[in-house]
Structure 1
Amino acid sequence: MTRFRPDPEFDPPFDVAEPTRQLAPFVFNAPHSGSVYPQALLDASVLDARGLRRSEDAFVDRLFAAVVPLGAPLMSARFPRAYLDVNREELELDPRMFEGRLPARANTRSMRVAGGLGTVPRIVADGHEIYRRRLPVEEALRRIETLYRPYHRALDLLIGRTIERFGQSVLIDCHSMPSGSLGRDEAKAEIVLGDRYGTSCAPALTETVERALQARGFTVIRNKPYAGGFITEHYGAPPIGRHALQIEINRAIYMDERTLTPLPAFADVAGRLTAVCSEVMATLELHPPGLRMAAE
């Protein structure tokens, strides 16, 4: 079996900030906030670093950093989404991108692959091609072995430990969305909650989060245009006490989307999100049986 050498820039490939003691059955995850761009990617790309960052959920890990002192772990990628996307199936790959034969079990026909946004993306979020030429298949497999698999092993471990301690788990998958990605009906949304239309998270929990966000002044909609990706689908199983809820934050409310820098309002947005997390976590800490009953 081929053993691949990891990228030296990704040591470690992700960060896990853990509280001194976990106080509630919550795990927070920021899979697209990675901002370390390896030189090999820059050399292979037709885009410069700023162009590649169009896919990055910039600063989302900082928006949610305060959940750690509240008593919940926060996991965040260091590698960028333009390099590898852990919110995809392990082998969701476009054969047109690679020289050589993909593994037989690769999913080459998903809508995400067709759109250029597979496990190894072909484009950045605004539609621009990333690479000058095809990549060797071995390069995709190397990224999957050294980044994707360790990431999901660590996330699965955090969730497993949470279930062992509390009897249930709530994964909050934290993302940001370009303001231009919203359609006419969603144009004013500041936050989109995705629970796969009620299949990845107990409706009672989604409603609790939605009400808490609205009480802090956020405009919230559900599932359109973002219902949740692979992580939400894979880790959410409400009937057995595993809940996964995706939260997409409109970038325009906390950052300058042109310069990719935080706005003066950043601290206010982060503070309101922290208040929401504190309220929801306290509710479930005090009343864990209610969530399990709502899921069943």
Structure 2
Amino acid sequence: MEETVREHDLFCVREPDHQRIPFVFNSPHSGRLYSDAFLAQSRLDARTIRRSEDHYVDELFGRAVGLGAPMLVAHFPRAFLDVNREPYELDPRMFDGALPPHANISSMRVAGGLGTVPRLVAENMEIYRSRLPVEDALERIETIYKPYHATLRRLIARTHVLFGRAILIDCHSMPGNVRVAGSSMRPDIIIGDRYGTSASADLSRMAVTLLEDLGFTVTRNKPYAGGFITEHYGRPRRGLHALQIEINRGLYVDETTLVKKPEFDWLAHILGTFFAEFAAHVESSTESLPLAAE
């Protein structure tokens, strides 16, 4: 029986009655609560501003809770605050006032308009009508970003204590037109492990194989290898593994209207099958399959 435990007004943890598998699921970009105040700051309309959202990913991956894994779900939108970034990846051009000296103002993500407080949504569309008070950005970090990550750390630590290992699944979606560089392949699913540094190669290969056996076209780390969350929480030599899973949105949602396709329920079901098989393989490999990094 599933129980939802609210930790914060803008995110929650969906808990099983008790945790039965060494997995933690995280959906940081599927939030769809766009406040009137935020929309008033934006030059974009209510549909266009959703273009960076991982549409319905929390629902798509939701069957993991029934299998016995907790899921952390953001309700705030990615366009408002991106928790898959360092806490202070901030663009000084966006703000009135001085950023703190520890802010990372020169990362590639900041340069691309995709910092902790993003400047752009997909296809280089500016979010804001004017510069923001720097206090606005710092408040988002203090009141949402930091509590969110504190909650994620607790879930991972609890799982590690219970099972001697923890496997974080960072749940995302990607535009339907994404191709692998140098080819015409449009993958259905991408498994990201930061090129073998955030999870054991055995674990990543297991995920790819199981998904391919279910009929999906799968790539590993191309073109997405994982973001800050995968990189930050994956410590495979300590039994802490982090995988990013990207689902092609074209499989389940109309990207213009944002209406779920009829295939949505089938995809959610088959992903539930994948999670169950993945958990069973991990359990059976506790002694036979090494999960240390290569």
Q: TM-score, normalised by structure 2?
A: 0.95
Task: Give the alignment of 1:224-239 within 5 angstroms.
Answer: 224-239=222-237
Task: Give the alignment of 1:95-134 within 5 angstroms.
Answer: 95-134=92-131
What is the CA–CA distance in structure 2 between the aligned matches of 1:123 and 1:186, rounded to whole Å? 27
CA-to-partner distance for each residue in 1:50-102, whole Å, 9 max, x for gaps? 01100100110001111111011111100000000000000000000000000
Please provide the CA RMSD for this pair: 1.4
User: Are the equivalent residues in 1 in contact too, given 2:178–2:186 (CA < 8 A)?
Assistant: no
**What is aligned with 2:212?**
214
The verdict on how the C-alpha distance between 1:178 and 1:61 changes in structure 2, with shifts beyond 3 A counting, is same
| AA at the equivalent of 1:87 | N
Out of 88, 91, 100, the position equivalent to 1:91 is 88
What is the CA–CA distance in structure 2 between the aligned matches of 1:160 and 1:290, rounded to whole Å? 24
What is the CA–CA distance in structure 2 between the aligned matches of 1:124 and 1:294, rounded to whole Å? 37
User: Are the equivalent residues in 1 in contact too, given 2:28–2:83 (CA < 8 A)?
Assistant: yes
Q: Matched residue pairs, number?
A: 287
CA-to-partner distance for each residue in 1:133-153, whole Å, 9 max, x for gaps? 000000000100111001000
User: Are the equivalent residues in 2 in contact too, given 1:55–1:126 (CA < 8 A)?
Assistant: no
| AA at the equivalent of 2:234 | G
What is the CA–CA distance in structure 1 between the aligned matches of 2:114 and 2:201, rounded to whole Å? 29
What is the CA–CA distance in structure 2 between the aligned matches of 1:279 and 1:15, rounded to whole Å? 26
What is the CA–CA distance in structure 2 between the aligned matches of 1:68 and 1:141, rounded to whole Å? 33
Out of 30, 51, 55, the position equivalent to 1:54 is 51
User: Are the equivalent residues in 2 in contact too, given 1:186–1:224 (CA < 8 A)?
Assistant: no
Q: Tell me, yes or no, if structure 1 residue 199 matches structure 2 residue 197.
A: yes
**What is aligned with 2:177?**
180
User: Are the equivalent residues in 2 in contact too, given 1:190–1:253 (CA < 8 A)?
Assistant: yes
The verdict on how the C-alpha distance between 1:121 and 1:255 changes in structure 2, with shifts beyond 3 A counting, is same
The verdict on how the C-alpha distance between 1:293 and 1:142 changes in structure 2, with shifts beyond 3 A counting, is closer
| AA at the equivalent of 1:19 | P
| SS, match of residue 179 in structure 1 | coil
The verdict on how the C-alpha distance between 1:67 and 1:17 changes in structure 2, with shifts beyond 3 A counting, is same
Out of 259, 262, 276, the position equivalent to 1:261 is 259
How far the C-alpha of 1:293 sits from its partner, in A, is: 4.6
| AA at the equivalent of 1:171 | L
**What is aligned with 1:70?**
67
User: Are the equivalent residues in 2 in contact too, given 1:241–1:292 (CA < 8 A)?
Assistant: no
Point out where structure 2 has 5 or more consecutive residues left out of the alignment.
1-6
| AA at the equivalent of 1:271 | H
How far the C-alpha of 1:286 sits from its partner, in A, is: 3.2
What is the CA–CA distance in structure 1 between the aligned matches of 2:289 and 2:85, rounded to whole Å? 28
How far the C-alpha of 1:294 sits from its partner, in A, is: 4.0
Out of 161, 166, 172, the position equivalent to 2:163 is 166
Q: Tell me, yes or no, if structure 1 residue 29 matches structure 2 residue 26.
A: yes
User: Are the equivalent residues in 1 in contact too, given 2:197–2:293 (CA < 8 A)?
Assistant: no
Q: Which moved more, 1:176-185 or 1:249-258?
A: 176-185
